[in-house]
Structure 1
Amino acid sequence: MDQQKQPSRSVQARILALLLLAYIFNFLDRQILGILAGPIMSDLKLNDAQFGAIGGLAFALLYSVLGVPLAMLADRTSRSRVIAGALAVWSAFTALCGTAASFGQLFLFRLGVGIGEAGGVAPAYALIADYFPPARRARALAIFSLGIPLGLAGGTLIGAYLAAWIDWRAAFLTMGVAGLVLAPIMLLFVRDLPRAKPAPDEQVPLSRAFPIIARKPTFWLMAAAASCSSLAGYGLALWTPSVLERSFGFGLIERGQFLASIFLIGGTAGVFAGGWLADRLGQADRRWYARLPAIAWLITAPTFAVGLLVPDPWVAWPLLLIPNALNILWLGPVTTAVQHLVSRPMRSTASASFLLINNLIGLGIGPTLIGGLSVLFKDRFGTEALRYAAVSVVGFYLVAALLMLLAIKRLRQDWVEEDSA
């Protein structure tokens, strides 16, 4: 981006704030399902495997696959309009989740939520990359990624209180309607920066864009590492409320407060620290964009396992705070690095390709795997089956760390500097 044509700091702040707000709603609508697991499963007569499929596979199928074509549409038309339209679609289907009367209906409505959310993230990454210069980009992406812990905390707490005061259906309806109100605000106040129409020889279709990034080992190593982290992270985010209910005897409000505090304190600290450290260290040595997540995941695995296994929930709280900070520290560094593996016209497509792999594996397998393991472990562990199923997946953080360590060597070679993008 031309330094002389950069938007003012106030404009950058407004755009980032609105994109952050939309991202908060993105994760509000995801996490609300986890905190409402108990009443939903009781009302619709679901077992752990069925609920895991609703929380993972149902959402991930179309969310992952449609991300690439919607990102291409955003690159070729208007990123801001695609984001606003996506928000309206996923919010409408979130509201419909509150009307579900069976496993099939809830599965179908969660597919719809995935369709909408598929158009929200990759175009936002590209829009932020357009608005912010390289030296501040990781911090901007990290601030945007605060939508994850803020949405997780908000979805957990708001969902718990609405379900306790009214019922689980009211929680879905309230969140859906609120998102529908935000969509036209996004359409009105978020604008793309002017983009020169590329010359015919500069236009990069998917058939050429994907092979360009696919030839870079760093892309595959980072995508695989993030996918392993997301497999554990998304699975634990969905099922930890139920672990608190079954293993610690927490009521709905108690587990909402317990988890919301962990997501809010740990998650926000981890996301912001990742962006700040990546900008500070990565300017001198690009390898820090991979080294930071690897270090974080090496600490995440053992602390998560111990936190889930200790018998006292108040000992578990500080232990779980640590991995909930470190397990998403990667967001700022890695999303920034992916943006710099290609030239500017391909940023949304590169992000969507990365997210396709990350979400298909992370979202599609993680929640479903824990639910399936819980059913498998039931004869052996009884009411503790879900706890041991959750602990079983934390080893994926160690696999993620190993893959990211392998990416360190190639990152500087594959990096595309801004003046050549």
Structure 2
Amino acid sequence: MKEASPLYRGYVLFILVVVYTFNFIDRQIVGILAVPIKSELALSDTQLSLMGGLAFALFYTFLGIPIAMLADRSSRTWVMTAALAIWSAMTAACGFAQNFLQLFLARLGVGVGEAGGVAPAYSLISDYFPPEKRARALSIYSFGIPVGSALGILLGGVLTSYLGWRSAFVIVGLAGLAIAPIFRLTLREPKRGGLDGEGAVTTPAKLNEVVATLVRKSSFWGLSFGAASSSMMGYGLIFWLPSFFVRSFGEALPEFFAWMPAFLMPDNATPLLFASYFYATILLVGGIAGIWLGGVMADKYGPEKKSTYAVVPAIAFLTTVPFFVVGVMATSLWIAFPAFLVLQALSLVWLGPVLTAFQQLVQPNMRATASAVFLFVNNLIGIGLGNLAIGAISDGLKNAYGDESLRYAILCGTVFYFIAAGLFLLTAPRLKKDWAS
């Protein structure tokens, strides 16, 4: 297969971003729907966190590695098509749940599908873009995180206000199903390692070979656990901040958006709707800015100095903390908004540099599997424990702080950014030695 044209590479990146966007819409929409779900199904914060985090993380993390091994041996485009169809169908099924158990099981199904949606995409991008452009390409792909998260929050809030939370699940699930055949029919499978030079290894690797390779590379584990530590707050904030804004700023939110056109402010508008506008803006603007900044810096400085791929995220995490404290402790939305905007940008700088490093720490024949191992660590800890930790702390502080308990529970999470920065700084000197030639 000849090298793809720049125009087609642009389309590949576009359709992959679209699929990743749906990945995060379906993953994160439950954050904004947590308020009406809790009310209708009479759930505690701990149950909400189990449904929103652990239910998804269980199968998403454990199935990711075998599915990625399949992607390293077969068509990555087919694997991603099936994954998109499954997670979209199970998202729609969430709209029919009548109790906690049914919703928990439906979210498990979403995790089953999304287990095959990301690692194969990393591998595809590495075979469509040369090494010197990969950080920016992977950063653009990662735009699906803030765009999908923002749309999940926004669509969740708008659709719930007009149609109810059940319809919100069904509509976004069916929309994802409609994309699946378009994705399969228009995305070609590229040659593995075609842009990595003559020495690139493309023969499918066995699991024990992948494990043996990764065990020898301490930088892989330092980056994985550092990213996982930051993801505890990343996923925890996406899930809990909508509830935090409603609980702590509910009466002030309508005033903050008094300038909006009337058609976006229905007569029955609730604080939940305004919280969705507020947080979706933060996710979209801050997220895209931070991800792009990280990718540009990695492509500019990383090829000459491999430690850049860890140092840049570490600095960003340390800089995040003061904005985090100001945003969480603010009593005015006019102070909270810029603080959370900068916080969101800095907290996602790591994506481009770290994802690029993972693609270069192993040979092309094991990229999807190695990415899945990273996702296993990152998401089992980040999704599985981040939501749960904040929810459990919030429940524990309920008697002392009432509705403000969530504010102090979130504040406790700043420690995870310090841990992430420390692990990245310890890892930085080892990247040059572990880089795959």
Sort the TM-score into its range (normalised by shorter chain).
over 0.9
1:412 aligns with 2:426: no
| Corresponding residue for residue 83 of structure 2 | 86
| Corresponding residue for residue 259 of structure 2 | none
| Corresponding residue for residue 395 of structure 1 | 415
TM-score for both structures, normalised by structure 2:
0.92
- The answer to whether the 8 A contact 2:135-2:353 is kept is yes
1:140 aligns with 2:137: yes
| Corresponding residue for residue 219 of structure 1 | 220
Alignment of 1:261-340 (within 5 A): 261-340=281-360
| Corresponding residue for residue 19 of structure 2 | 22
Could you give the per-residue CA deviations for residues 307-342 of structure 1, whole angstroms, max 9, x where no partner exists? 011111121000111110011111110011011111
2:46 to 45, 49, 73: 49
1:7 to 1, 4, 9: 4
Gaps of 5+ in 2: 254-270
What displacement does 1:301 show?
Answer: 2.0
| Corresponding residue for residue 193 of structure 1 | 190
Q: Which residue identity lines up with residue 317 of structure 1 in the other structure?
A: F
What displacement does 1:30 show?
Answer: 1.5
Could you give the per-residue CA deviations for residues 6-25 of structure 1, whole angstroms, max 9, x where no partner exists? 31101111111000000000
| Corresponding residue for residue 258 of structure 2 | none
Q: Which residue identity lines up with residue 204 of structure 1 in the other structure?
A: A
Q: Which residue identity lines up with residue 83 of structure 2 in the other structure?
A: A
Write the distance in 1 (CA, Å) between the matches of 2:171 and 2:202: 48
| Corresponding residue for residue 165 of structure 2 | 168
Write the distance in 2 (CA, Å) between the matches of 1:196 and 1:369: 41
1:258 aligns with 2:259: no
What displacement does 1:108 show?
Answer: 0.3
1:355 aligns with 2:375: yes
1:60 aligns with 2:61: no
What displacement does 1:201 show?
Answer: 11
Segment drifting more, 200-209 vs 215-224: 200-209
Q: 1:384 to 1:199 in 2, by over 3 A?
A: closer
Could you give the per-residue CA deviations for residues 169-192 of structure 1, whole angstroms, max 9, x where no partner exists? 010000000000000111101121
Q: 1:381 to 1:208 in 2, by over 3 A?
A: same
Runs ≥4 in structure 1, deviation > 2 angstroms? 194-203
Q: Which residue identity lines up with residue 214 of structure 2 in the other structure?
A: I
- The answer to whether the 8 A contact 2:87-2:111 is kept is yes
Segment drifting more, 365-374 vs 4-13: 4-13
| Corresponding residue for residue 146 of structure 2 | 149
| Corresponding residue for residue 122 of structure 1 | 119
What displacement does 1:302 show?
Answer: 2.3
- The 3-state SS of whatever aligns with 1:101 is coil
1:238 aligns with 2:258: no
Q: Which residue identity lines up with residue 219 of structure 1 in the other structure?
A: F
Could you give the per-residue CA deviations for residues 230-283 of structure 1, whole angstroms, max 9, x where no partner exists? 011101110000000111114012101100110111000001111111001112
Q: 1:310 to 1:200 in 2, by over 3 A?
A: closer
Gaps of 5+ in 1: none
Q: Which residue identity lines up with residue 360 of structure 1 in the other structure?
A: L
| Corresponding residue for residue 384 of structure 1 | 404
Q: Which residue identity lines up with residue 47 of structure 1 in the other structure?
A: S
Q: 1:376 to 1:135 in 2, by over 3 A?
A: same
Could you give the per-residue CA deviations for residues 353-402 of structure 1, whole angstroms, max 9, x where no partner exists? 11100000001000011111111111111111111111111210111000
Q: Which residue identity lines up with residue 399 of structure 2 in the other structure?
A: D
Could you give the per-residue CA deviations for residues 103-160 of structure 1, whole angstroms, max 9, x where no partner exists? 0000000000000000000000000001100010000000000000001111111110
Write the distance in 2 (CA, Å) between the matches of 1:236 and 1:62: 22
Q: Which residue identity lines up with residue 390 of structure 2 in the other structure?
A: I
Write the distance in 2 (CA, Å) between the matches of 1:146 and 1:201: 28
Write the distance in 2 (CA, Å) between the matches of 1:389 and 1:129: 39
Q: Which residue identity lines up with residue 243 of structure 2 in the other structure?
A: S
| Corresponding residue for residue 368 of structure 1 | 388
1:204 aligns with 2:224: no
Write the distance in 2 (CA, Å) between the matches of 1:200 and 1:285: 24
Q: Which residue identity lines up with residue 312 of structure 2 in the other structure?
A: L
Q: 1:333 to 1:195 in 2, by over 3 A?
A: closer
Q: 1:317 to 1:216 in 2, by over 3 A?
A: same
- The answer to whether the 8 A contact 2:201-2:365 is kept is no
**RMSD over aligned Cα atoms:** 1.7
- The 3-state SS of whatever aligns with 1:192 is coil
Could you give the per-residue CA deviations for residues 276-295 of structure 1, whole angstroms, max 9, x where no partner exists? 11001112211111111001
Segment drifting more, 379-388 vs 359-368: 379-388
What displacement does 1:305 show?
Answer: 2.0
